[in-house]
Amino acid sequence: MKPDHPAFGARAAAPVKQNRMDMCHGPLFGKIVLFTIPLMLTYILQLMFHAADLIVIGRFGPGQALAAVGATNGLTTLVLNVFFGLATGINVVVARNTGAGNRAGVSHAVHTAAAVALYGGIAMSIVGILISKPMLQLMETPRDIIDKSALYMRIYCSGIPFIVFFNFGSAILRAVGDTKRPLFFMLLAGIVNVLLNLFFVLVFKMDVAGVASATMIANALASFLVLRTLTGSRDAVRLIWKKVRIHMQSFKEILHLGLPGGVQGACFSISNLAIQSSVNSFGWQAIAGNTAGMSIEGIVYVASSAFFHTSISFTGQNFGAKKFKRIARSFFYCLICTCAAALSTGGTFLFFGRELLGIYNSDPEVIRWGLLRMKILLSTYFLCGVMDVISGTLRGLGHSIKPMITILIGVCGFRIFWVYVIFPLHRSMESLMFSYPISWSLVSLVNGALLYYLLAKHRPKGQGVLTRSRG
């Protein structure tokens, strides 16, 4: 769908509501599906940026280049997770103000988000470039790949402002029900990314530098398109550059709702860095196989975790509108859908695991290592979806500290304990991977009990938590 911008001529005069969704009225299940599918596809396309890097470099680059890029996975996630958490806070603040009909609150949140993306993105880019090689050394990245890994990281980090702007802008559009245009932008950027990958690697023989540069350019394109959509909007989410500044009330709300998620994501990354370090100890073929397996399972993750963001938006708007029974029902639908998405995609990818891994690298030893990871995680990823939907609903209700604490202890703390206490007793890829489903289950039980209490607290007397409502 074309963005609302004068550059598109007569189409710009179309009603802005054509790209919005009223989450507070009408049938819930259909709206949840219509909202989530473009969101899911957007995240899959965003994920395919990295997958395209891995496939092109694995098939056409030097033998160890795939491992070199894969060794940066945990570090790139660590650098960005604080901003992804803040994007969640932006989503909740804009959604709640939209549900309450507070146009000024929406506008303040939009311009505060733009200011944070601009200054914070540049600062994080500089930090990422500076810490790249020292962090890779700390992770015990093998000497034969560390220089290429550091080069990939430095180029990738130079494009962080573009990634932050795209995710902040997409969070704003999601909050008002628009998931279609971010999908279109990511599709276009994904095509550019693949073409540039092939061009830089095959023509200029740039290997890791080529795929990193292609990703940066594609992210810049996606960022430009989403920002142009916001500046061309005709309603409260319109971005006016001369008004970009930090409104303290909105900033406090975004920090309160988003920073815990960012801290949580950063701690997730730290625990995953510990796991990556353990994988590194098995050698470059294990790193390459783990990297390919992680890339494939990433599609399963985003297929299920899209309902995390859906639960935030639907909960946020209905919380602003004081419609608590719709919150309970939307949670139930998101829970069913995330399990179905994870089980169906995970089962399919596991069945074709050997063939899918072969797309990334044809080395039988690399494929063997990848399968060791996939057979455990792809069969249990629905537990991660359950954990995410519960956490998303809690965040939409305005409770961000409590799920952060439980996830820090139940996931991050538990995984670090597993790596340094349990894993040394039985050093194998399978032993390492079992830390994931166990941690997801622990957190789901604790946060599920908390969510049930909060939903029961708001229910009308004499009615169940999931009582059907007309609103």
Comparing 70-79, 270-279, 445-454, the range with the smallest average pLDDT is 70-79
Give me the helix-helix angle, 143-158 and 284-320, nearest 10°. 30
Residues 44-67, mean pLDDT to the nearest whole number = 75
- pLDDT for the residue numbered 19: 58
pLDDT per position as a tens digit, 413-437: 899 899 999 999 988 888 899 999 9
For 11-102, where are the alpha helices, taking DSSP H only? 28-60, 65-70, 73-99
Percentage above 90 pLDDT, the chain = 35
Computed over every residue of the chain, the mean pLDDT equals 83
Among the listed residues 260, 257, 273, 261, the one whose alpha carbon sits nearest the alpha carbon of residue 305: 261
Say if residues 394 and 354 touch (Cβ distance below 8 Å).
no
Phi, psi of 418, rounded to the nearest 5 degrees: -65, -45
List, for residues 14-23, the tens digit of each pLDDT value: 334 455 677 7
| Residue-level pLDDT at 105 | 92
On whether the pTM is more than 0.75, the answer is no
Structure tokens at 107: 């506008």
Nearest Cα to 142, choosing from 287, 292, 295? 287
DSSP SS3 for 275: helix
Distance CA 318, CA 327 (A): 6
User: Residue 393 and residue 43: Cα distance in Å, rounded?
Assistant: 19
SS3 399: coil
Rounded CA separation 155/176 (Å):
34
Read off the pLDDT band of 176 (50, 70, 90): confident
Helix or strand run (H / E) with residue 308:
helix 284-320
Are 264 and 404 within 8 A, CB to CB?
Answer: yes
Instruction: Please indicate whether residue 390 or residue 83 has the higher confidence score (pLDDT).
Output: 390
Token readout for 78 is 């660590």
Q: Which two tokens stand for residue 201?
A: 């690697």
Q: Given this model, what pLDDT does residue 461 score?
A: 52
Q: Which of 82-91, 263-272, 461-470 is least confident?
A: 461-470
pLDDT for position 363: 86
CA 246 vs CA 111, 161, 235, 252, 398: distances in Å: 7, 17, 20, 10, 21
Nearest to 91 by CA among 240, 258, 326: 258
pLDDT at residue 145 in the model: 86
Q: Write the burial class of residue 101 (CB in 10 Å: 0-12 exposed, 13-18 middle, 19+ buried).
A: exposed
pLDDT at residue 336 greater than cutoff 80: yes
- Give dist(CA 33, CA 358) in Å, integer: 33
Model confidence at 79, in pLDDT bands (50, 70, 90)? low
pLDDT at 458 (0 to 100) = 62
Q: Identify which has the larger pLDDT, 265 or 122.
A: 122
Phi first, then psi: give them for residue 352, nearest 5 degrees.
Answer: -100, 25
Judged against a pLDDT cut of 70, whether residue 9 lies above it is answered with: no
> Residue 464: is its pLDDT beyond 50?
no
pLDDT tens digit sequence for 237-270:
999 999 999 999 999 988 887 887 777 777 777 7
Tell me the pLDDT band of 12, cut-offs 50, 70 and 90. very low
Range scoring the smallest mean pLDDT among 3-17, 205-219, 390-404, 425-439: 3-17
Residue 377, pLDDT score: 93
Most confident region among 85-89, 251-255, 305-309, 312-316 by mean pLDDT:
251-255
**24 — phi, psi (to 5°)?**
-100, -5
- pLDDT value at residue 229: 94
Exposure class string for 44-66: b at 16+ Cβ within 10 A, else e: bbbbbbbbbbbbbbbebbeebbb
Residue type, 411: V
Binned at pLDDT 50, 70 and 90, residue 63 comes out as: low
